[in-house]
Amino acid sequence: MIPVGEILSFGSTIISKIFPDPLERAKAQAALLELEQQGKLKELESAMNVIVSEAKSEHWIVAAWRPITMLIFAGIVANNYIIYPYLSLFWSEAPKLILPPDLWDLLKIGLGGYIVGRSSEKVVKTIKDR
């Protein structure tokens, strides 16, 4: 499990790299602490632990379902924004896949969870190695 303290530390590191302006950095740090006080980081901790557990699973389908799903969504996005525009120049009936707003939200959550989970896993490993 990834403790909330390590999430805060990781968040602070990211904030210091994203916000070079001290005032903006302080605002972001305050927002992060507010999230902790509201209990939102416990939810994030739980979600990250699920993702890390899935990634470490011995069963390939458990470990791979999230990346496979994200690859499918990435394929749909590539089709709609790269392949379809090109094909439509030459073919009036080029297939465009409809991506409902709920799938966009799922893609954002999935990618965000995957990125946060993998990043925090690497940070925790680095901290433990020290």
| Whole-number pLDDT of residue 121 | 63
| Whole-number pLDDT of residue 27 | 82
Task: Give me the chain's average pLDDT, please.
Answer: 76
Alpha-carbon distance of 120 to 48, in angstroms, equals 8
Alpha-carbon distance of 11 to 120, in angstroms, equals 9
For residue range 82-93, what is the model confidence (pLDDT) as tens digits? 998 999 899 888
Please, are residues 75 and 34 in contact by the beta-carbon 8 Å criterion? no
For residue range 31-90, what is the model confidence (pLDDT) as tens digits? 777 776 666 666 667 777 777 787 788 888 888 887 888 888 888 888 888 998 999 899
Q: What is the pTM of this model?
A: 0.47
Can you tell me whether residue 20 is helix, strand or coil?
coil
Please, are residues 117 and 51 in contact by the beta-carbon 8 Å criterion? yes
**Domain boundaries of the chain, sorted by first residue:** 4-129
Alpha-carbon distance of 13 to 84, in angstroms, equals 40
pLDDT beyond 60 at 2: no
Q: What is the 3-state secondary structure (H, E, C) of 71-100?
A: HHHHHHHHHHHHHHHHHHHHCCCCCCCCCC
Mean pLDDT of 2-9: 62
